[in-house]
Amino acid sequence: MADYKNFTVETDADGIALVTWDMPDRSMNVFTEEVMNELDKIIDHVVATDAIKGAVLTSGKETFSGGADLTMLQKMLGLFETERQKDHDKAIKLLFDSAGRMSWLWRKLETCGKPWVSAINGTCMGGAFEISLACHGRVAADSDKVKMALPEVKVGIFPGAGGTQRVPRMAKTQEALQMLTTGQNLSPKKALGMGLVDQVVAPRKLVESAKKMIKDGLSPVKPWDEKGFKLPGGPVYSAAGANLWPPAIAILRRETQNNYPAASAILKCVYEGLLVPFDTALKIEQRYFTEIMQTTEAKMMIRSLFISLQELNKGARRPKDAPARKLKKVGVLGAGFMGAGIAFVTAKAGIPVVLIDRDQEAADKGKEHSAKLMDGLIKKGRATEDDKEKLLSLITATPDYNELDGAGLVIEAVFEDSNIKKEVTEKAEAVLKSTAVFASNTSTIPISALANNSKRPKNFIGIHFFSPVDKMMLVEIIMGKRTGDKALAVAMDYVRAIKKTPIVVNDTRGFYVNRCVLRYMQEAYSMLIEGVPAPMIENGAKMAGMPVGPLALTDETAIDLAQKIMKQTIRDLGEKAVDPRHMELIDTMVDKHGRHGRKNAKGFYDYPAKPAKKHLWAGLKDLFPQKAAEEVDIEEVKQRLLVTIALEAARVMEEGIVTDPREADVGSILAFGFAPYTGGALSYIDGMGVENFVALSKRLQKKYGKQFKAPKLLLDMAEKGETFYERFAPEGGAEMQKAA
């Protein structure tokens, strides 16, 4: 028998082949062309060997597989783009054939005449779950580590290896559609309940149980390949179908605003596929997949939410020469909401934390935040009491700065007051070793200014978390003028240890994220003042793909905080730095009406007691003369809200605050949900074409003001026909741009 690089094949006395997938030099199994070729040969071997009665497919690693390797998608798109410039029809055929390779290989396994069982021992995503569905039986280990999903829609594509056809033939159609269009994770028990796995067993019995299925006479023919097969959810043309499909289409439109072509394609694939024989259904899926791969949305989402996100999570911006550092102790100064959240995520990563506040009572209150978060996880079945005790044992709550001795990193998270920050910095540095790194979680004060309080400015850096810390996945690492590579490396290692995504930002007022967010809010203020009805502003934002309207976002961050920021900006930069109309609006909300935002249940929205839902404050329409709805161009509202953010992202790149377009794109999506279907703030510009974006900006500037003036960088890029990923090509950027 042939030797395989990525698999071992061992046949036992009962004639059952155990196919173990264990890629060398990889922490997780992924599908590559080499893996696919080897699987093809293994299927042939199983079929051709009379002594083999069936096969069990499992993983030799802790996880089963993360799905397709990103280089496969890159290569597929790159070859298509190269060929498209020569022969469009040939390029489409090439893409169609590439898109179908995995699908038809899984179909080959499914119809090979011998039974296959997938023994799922850990995370099983995308194409790995699709090959499991193609197997004749599935056994999953009863473990929290086992998660199954078809998450492709989250990166702009959809399950194109039979997922849209097998899931609705195994599960009820409504459950299948929800799973496919959201990319949700399934626990073993949930998958069992849906009919997507056959057994859930103790991990030690996984392979044994899978082999037993074959020994017990598992049929090598799928139900849909036999006569008389009936769909679990009933036929499309039936009373059940009539009750399902119209609402499903309406719900998808409501949830996606038709911004995600892949989600719409899933509905079409399932609907059309369930009307025809299975092999025809696979061709329908393959055609839609080929179509979706050519969309701007897919190209941009794959680049940002798959390729760039993985690269940043692996430390793409980490200084290469700095040795890796595993932190044995971290200090957090300030046990308020932010500091307590930082302590929680640090302890959750298994790192001991010293949480310091002015007195024992305040420090204990901060530690109690972690206890409450763990209680919430326990209630949801995601943690145990033992997990809670273990985490809390890692947090030392104290007012004593001497407890910081031995900490390799200290994160300051006290009030946004320069004097208080100076005081705690000096107290901490009196205890810390000279090699320790000091970080500030400030959101407004420049890091270079705060570093003046430090005796070791090279080891002083910004680590800016977003609220709530336990849920937000992005962290801004801010480089002061004198911050050294060692401090950056330690900050990066820490952020990766707590399983968040780091982006590196050079020092400026508001850094990157807050500068963009403030533009979003400010454009909403301008619209209110112009008389655009508040519901149209908020709905326009959601129609544009933003998760939260700008007025709701202002409430969440607090209107009185916006007032403080505006006043501080005027003190620092002069009267012209803030639009006087905006200042008047915010002063009216806070000083005249006492509306501070969600925190006092009165802001741009009213927040009644539950179960009632929040609603826009009726008084908003009395602040300014209102335009009639038909006078407002909702498409223009959507454009204004996206363009103002994208322009600020471009300015940040022009100023050298952010230097890598991957960080600008991923940061804009993870921090404030910038319309994910665009691929991020810069990909929104690239996807439209810089020349087209500049033309749109000029139209909006002429009509609404100087905030839409395109910076010189964009004018130059438009003239040269450049994109951000060409102009500011990151490592590997040329290949990425070619693919996207």
Are residues 171 and 247 both part of a single domain? yes
Q: Distance between CA 675 and CA 638 in Å, rounded? A: 11
**Is 527 within 8 Å of 622 (Cβ atoms)?**
no
In three-state secondary structure terms, 358 is coil
pLDDT at site 442: 85
- Cα–Cα distances in Å, from 663 out to 303, 641, 682, 730? 12, 21, 10, 10
Using CA atoms, how far residue 337 sits from 329, 333, 554, in Å, is 21, 12, 18
530, 647: one domain: yes
Peptide linkage before 502 cis (omega within 30 of 0): no
Judge whether 67 lies within some domain. Answer: yes
On whether the pTM is more than 0.85, the answer is yes
For 128-157, the pLDDT digits (tens) are: 999 999 999 999 999 989 999 999 999 999
Considering Cα of 322, then 326, then 329, then 335, what sign does the dihedral take?
positive
- Residues 190 and 673: their CA atoms lie apart, in Å, by 29
Task: Give the Cβ contact number of residue 338 at 10 Å.
Answer: 22
Examine the domain organization and report whether 499 and 520 are in the same domain: no
* Domain co-membership, 528 together with 489: no
User: Of all residues in the chain, what percent carry a pLDDT higher than 70?
Assistant: 98
- DSSP annotation of 592 reads I
Residue 582 catalytic? no
Q: Which of 151, 178, 4 is nearest to 67 (CA)?
A: 151
Euclidean distance between the first and the last CA atom of the chain, given in angstroms as a whole number: 41
On the question of pLDDT at 735 being above 80, the answer is no
What's the CATH code of the domain at 122?
A: 3.90.226.10
Is residue 302 assigned to a domain?
no
Q: Which two tokens stand for residue 22?
A: 């264990």
**CA distances (Å), 615 to each of 521, 551, 598, 626, in order?**
18, 11, 11, 18
Does any domain span residue 309? no
DSSP state of 354: E
Same domain as 286, residue 348: no
Identify whether 1 is part of a domain: no
Phi, psi values for residue 139, rounded to 5°: -125, 130
Is the residue at 625 inside a domain? yes
The predicted-structure confidence for 519-535, as pLDDT tens digits, reads as follows: 999 999 999 999 999 99
**Per-residue tokens: 623:** 């602040």
CB 662 within 8 A of CB 308: yes
Residue 738 pLDDT exceeds 80: no
Does one domain contain both 140 and 234?
yes
- Domain endpoint, select from 509, 527, 562: 509
Closest CA to 197 of 237, 153, 250, 143: 143
Q: What is the 3-state secondary structure (H, E, C) of 12-62?
A: CCCCEEEEEECCCCCCCCCECHHHHHHHHHHHHHHHHCCCCCEEEEEECCC
**Mean pLDDT value of segment 351-374:** 96
Residues 475 and 606 in one domain: no
CA distance 314 to 318: 9
Residues 690, 594 share a domain: yes
Q: Judge if 67 and 93 occupy the same domain.
A: yes
How far apart are alpha carbons 431 and 405 in whole angstroms? 6
pLDDT band at 88 (very low <50, low <70, confident <90, very high): confident
Tell whether 191 and 78 lie within a shared domain: yes
The pLDDT, as a whole number, for residue 2 is 64
Q: What is the pLDDT of residue 257?
A: 93
pLDDT of 272 above 60? yes
- With a CB cutoff of 8 Å and minimum separation 6, the contacts of 175 are 194
Alpha-carbon span 571 to 566, nearest angstrom: 9
In a domain? residue 398 = yes
Last residue of a domain, one of 509, 526, 554: 509
462, 494, 500, 563, 672 from 475: Cα distances, Å = 10, 11, 7, 25, 12
Same domain, yes or no: 74 and 208: yes
What confidence score (pLDDT) does residue 731 get?
A: 61
C-alpha–C-alpha distance, residues 675 and 639, integer Å: 12
Task: Give the whole-angstrom CA distance, residue 733 versus residue 717.
Answer: 17
The token pair at 636 is: 């223009």
DSSP string for 122-158: S-EETHHHHHHHHSSEEEEESSTT--EE--GGGGT--
Q: How many Å apart are CA 666 and CA 475, to the nearest integer?
A: 11
* Rounded distance between C-alpha atoms, residue 597 and residue 601, angstroms: 6
* pLDDT tens digits, 462-502: 999 998 999 999 999 999 999 999 999 999 999 999 999 99
Mean pLDDT of 3-7: 93
The closest alpha carbon to 355, from 330, 373, 375, belongs to 330
State the total domains in the chain: 3
Residue 675 domain boundaries: 514-739
Peptide bond into 611 cis (omega under 30): yes
Going by C-beta distance under 8 Å and a sequence separation of 6 or more, which residues neighbour residue 391? Answer: 344, 347, 348, 370, 374
| C-alpha span between 215 and 377 (Å, rounded) | 41
Q: What is the pLDDT of residues 641-680, one digit of tens each?
A: 999 999 999 999 999 999 999 999 999 999 999 999 999 9
- Domain harbouring 631, CATH code: 1.10.1040.50
Q: Is 301 a domain residue?
A: no
User: Of the candidates 470, 493, 509, which is a domain's last residue?
Assistant: 509
In this structure, are residues 304 and 683 in contact, taking their beta carbons and an 8 Å threshold?
A: yes
Is the pLDDT at 293 greater than 80? The verdict is yes
* 120 touches 140 (CB < 8 A): yes
One-letter amino acid of 410:
V
293 to 158, 632, 697: CA distances (angstroms): 9, 35, 29
104 and 209 share a domain?
Answer: yes
Residue 312 lies in a domain: no
Residue 310 to residue 304: CA distance in whole angstroms: 9
What would the mean pLDDT of 557-566 be, rounded to a whole number?
A: 89
Place of tokens 């990525």: 6
Say yes or no to pLDDT of 23 above 80. yes
Query: Given this model, what pLDDT does residue 580 score?
Result: 94
Instruction: Identify the pLDDT of residue 280.
Output: 97
Is the pLDDT confidence value at 344 over 50? yes
Opening angle at CA 262, ends 257 and 264, nearest 5: 55
Mean pLDDT estimate for the chain? 93
Cβ atoms within 10 Å, residue 375: 13
pLDDT digit string (tens) for 56-69? Answer: 999 999 999 999 88
Please, is 314 exposed, middle or buried when counting C-beta atoms within 10 Å of its C-beta (0-12, 13-18, 19+)?
exposed
- What CATH number should be reported for the domain holding residue 437? 3.40.50.720
Q: Measure CA 531 to chain center.
A: 35
Give Cα 689 distance to the centre of its chain.
Answer: 24
What does the pLDDT read at residue 84? 83
Catalytic residue among 464, 593, 596, 615: 464
Structure letter (DSSP) for residue 65: B
650: exposed, middle or buried (Cβ count in 10 Å: 0-12, 13-18, 19+)? buried
pLDDT at 572: 83
